[in-house]
Structure 1
Amino acid sequence: MKMLRTRSCIFLASAAVLVAGSTLARAADPREGFSFGSCTLTGKPNTISLTTLEKDTLTVATPLPNPGWWNGTSPSSISSGFEYCLAADIAYRAGLHHLKIVNMAWDQYISGTSTGYDIALGSTTITPARQKVFNFSRPYFSAGLGVATLPSNNISEGNVKAKRIAVLQGNVGADWVTHILKPQSVLVYQSSPDMFTALMAHQIDAVVTDTTLALTQAKMSNGNIRVVGQYNVDQGYGIITAKTSVNTQAIDKAVAELAADGTLKQLSKTYLQPMFGVSPDSVPVWSLK
């Protein structure tokens, strides 16, 4: 009888330890209390320190729509996407519980005159000219310039210079097309949707923009638009902070850690590859002729 009581006590004590251990394990999850849409958070909170406009909130400026990067058409509808979850992970690592998204038109976003945000995150290529206006983090993504067109337009590496080419105002591709590619005609548009609407209406022959954005539009067109080539211009996307910001170094540190721990690669695999339909590396690389 005494032996049974002893075994019972040992069993109850073991069970108590297991329950306590389980409780401690749950309590030890650093992500508890943090939730940003469908994002899977990585790293640990409070590993960087940010000074923000609003308490416990990271305010992020971006030009919408931008499928794959920000999945949704308005700030209130977004809960996933490469850049949304990148911003969420930065907020989490700063110990912040909220994201506030500020939607801006592209020309307003890239002008350098806008205020009211902590960081700006919108597939923004780092260039020497832009570095005079903004501070940038190290690149979190790299892309070339893709050539998107309709199959009936018969655009090729050899004849593209003789065609009507659309570019996005303020985009690196606009300067490159105008001064390096030098096609017969360059038409500048205020937004990405405007460019691709013009392409579908046969008002232009091709769009030259970031390969990732071109592939996204092609996938959404159900085969009507194709990305037939790309130019390797080694574009790197960086996170913007204002020249007066005290957060620049902390944001750069966060991007470095997100690259080192594999988070950026996972974000690309989760949100970008399904949007592209094909790997950007599979698009033929064109040279200037």
Structure 2
Amino acid sequence: MKSEWFDPHKSFLSLKIAWGTVLILATMSISSAVMIVFNSELKPDLSYSGFNHFISVFRFPLAIAALIIPVVALLAANHRSEQTKEQIKVTNSQNIFSNYYKHMEEFTKYLLPRVDKEVDLRFAHSKFFPDSSLGDYAISSKLVSLLSELGNVAKEVLEQYPIDFNQSLDIELKKKYYVLIHEVYSFIYRDRDAYIKHITHTRRDDGYEGSYLFESISLIRHTLTAIKITEEACKFSSEYVSPVKELNLKFQDLNKVYIYKRTGDRASFVYEQNKDEQTFEEANENFMDILRKAVTVS
């Protein structure tokens, strides 16, 4: 039966369908009884045979009248069922509401010592778990997709490595990944000014600042930082599995790529004796070797 006919917020006796059903059946019973009376030659007889004859004559209208009780009972049972469904719905809604705030509270406690003070934790929760208010605590599929895309940076940098080491990083490749980095940060920071410090570029004065090597290293460092910060929050979910499959690099790996030649300066002797000389060409080869290993392992 249609749910709109059985408003769970009303009592059974105030339902139109209940009174309508009783009225229809009663009308049918009385009408049929009146028709029988006017179309039959009946005489009063108060003996037992008269009463038996009454039951026999008015069997049809009495049968219709008798239907009122089971039909009304059926309607009442259906109304109780609708009320039970409404109670379950309200209870579930209250549980979802309670669990939502508990989840947000625990998320806030988890992240508070792990992220910058500029992070709006409630905002981050709404971005990481967009359907949590509905009881779905899965991490945003868009965020997982963005992290997966960022994980391809080492592979793409290696694939486009130029023969001329002095060439700059491809502008489209750079634009693609910095757009992804900004999008990922937008899940945890409300304002761009709060995370821009993580994408600052260190200036070099050795003439290699615009080279493919150092632009790539800078891009990968910024990518690693964005992934690290974001996945720190993602790990709050015990079901989270990192989608980053193509970025088996660490900041320590990138520290092995540098350009250095000993100067013989006594002031830096202690520092220099623990550091190998490395030319620009050797640094490029070293970096390419690191990228190959990272992509192969993945």
TM-score normalized with structure 1 length: 0.29
Higher Cα Rg, which structure: 2
The answer to which structure has the higher helix fraction is 2
The answer to which structure has the higher strand fraction is 1
